[in-house]
Amino acid sequence: MTFHTLYEFLSDLGQNNTKEWMDANRKHYEEVRDFYISWLNAMDIKLSKVDPGYTHTTGRQAINRINNNLMYHPNKPIYKDHFGAGLDKEIKQSDFYIHLGTSESFIAVGFYKPKSSILKSIRQGIDYNGDELKKILNKKSFKNLLGELIDDGDSLKTAPKGYSQEHDHIELLRRKTFAVQVELTQKEVMNADFDDRVIQIYKEMLPFRNYLNKAVSV
């Protein structure tokens, strides 16, 4: 089993997004899912070796359901077009998310539109030491690999409550999302050195993750 097989399955599913098709191909789905879980298990061990603060998360704990939640999104297809998984699932830790799909594949880290208590803690961290976050975000290797913070289009127009409009870090304080993302091509994922690529991305993201995790745990 390979990532090529995983993408082939997702492509077939996208053209036959029905319960009947899935039922008829259940065994193949489970084989692909088990392959991804096994890969996640191996990656979990590798990440724990490069990050002393990493919390072990099994592939079965990490992987998301392939069914869409039709109760809240009734117009979506029955099944997703991707396999998603979140490793290092420690409470109040920023996400480390791996998304492999037919329309897009990427690795993301951080907090995407977190609840108000988490956002408040991040803003307090920025107020206390926003220069450190700016240093991380402006590091050349970080910008080359990860680019800018994800723009969710939902930043405040004014200063958040309790902060001055003239604050040195007002642009960061206005944000409601603190996350970065690396786009992946299917060719990259299917390449023999994909594991090394994931480790490289994780290492570059780690100071950013550590900053956020410290902010929400203090």
Q: What is the pLDDT of residue 160?
A: 92
Mean pLDDT of 33-58: 95
Mean pLDDT of 83-101: 90
Mean pLDDT of 17-44: 97
Mean pLDDT of 145-167: 91
The residue ranges of DSSP E strands in 81-209, in sequence order, are 82-87, 95-101, 105-111, 178-184
Q: What is the pLDDT of residue 72?
A: 75
- pLDDT tens string 94-147: 999 999 999 999 999 999 999 999 999 999 999 999 999 999 999 999 999 999
- CA-angle at 84, arms to 185 and 114, nearest 5°: 110
Please state the domain count of the chain.
1
Give the N- to C-terminal CA distance of the chain in Å, as an integer. 44
Which among 68, 66, 67, 48 has a CA at the least distance from the CA of 56?
48
Which among 177, 180, 126 has a CA at the least distance from the CA of 154?
177
Name the percent of the chain lying above pLDDT 90.
Answer: 86
Mean pLDDT of 164-175: 94
Please give the Cα distance from 174 to 129 (Å, whole number): 16
Are residues 208 and 135 in contact, defined by beta-carbon separation less than 8 angstroms? Answer: no
Q: What is the pLDDT of residue 217?
A: 87
Are residues 117 and 157 in contact, defined by beta-carbon separation less than 8 angstroms? Answer: no
Edge-first strand order for the sheet with 105-111 is 82-87, 95-101, 105-111, 178-184
Q: What is the pLDDT of residue 71?
A: 73
Query: What residue numbers bound the domain in which 44 lies?
Result: 3-217
Q: What is the pLDDT of residue 70?
A: 78
Are residues 125 and 214 in contact, defined by beta-carbon separation less than 8 angstroms? Answer: yes
- CATH classification of the domain holding 124: 3.30.930
